[in-house]
Amino acid sequence: MRPEGPTQDEADALVRARKYVKALATRQPTRLLMMASAKKAPSGIPKPTPSAALELAGRFRIRGINYSIQHDCPSGPVVRGWHEHIWTNQYEDRVVIVARPAPRDQTMQGLFRWGLKKWNIAIGEPSSRNQRGKEKKARHR
């Protein structure tokens, strides 16, 4: 483990905590960053396979999802297909598990939404209970 990286417990706590996206980063991130990307497909493959990640300080991938035909896992068996990267003290982000649920929408946007839901991230400001009650009443009028 890199000395400046998070512990596994810190990474797990960050994933469990409810998070809210307020704005897009315009400079080097200092906190959590949710991203999705698609690399250029190798020759003969019709489209790129996208991936999504939750990074701490833009340097430590504490969670990620991507696809590979076969991915070796230093702490266990080989994983095939869609898999999630999990941060651990010993292996950092190299530990993988089968992605559950498997992403249905395998576009970049779909994987971004999968990550938002799986890693407990909401878009917008947290709303208070009073505000949520007012919104429900307004919808029923």
- Written as tens digits, the pLDDT of the chain (141 aa) is 566 788 999 999 989 998 877 655 555 555 778 888 887 777 777 777 899 999 998 889 999 999 998 999 998 889 999 999 999 999 999 999 999 999 999 998 999 999 999 999 988 778 765 555 555 555 555
In the chain, what are the domain boundaries?
Answer: 8-140
Strand partners, 68: 81
The Cβ of residue 89 has, within 10 Å, a number of other Cβ atoms equal to 13
**Is 73 in contact with 67 (CB distance < 8 Å)?**
no
**Is 13 in contact with 73 (CB distance < 8 Å)?**
no
**Is 20 in contact with 121 (CB distance < 8 Å)?**
yes
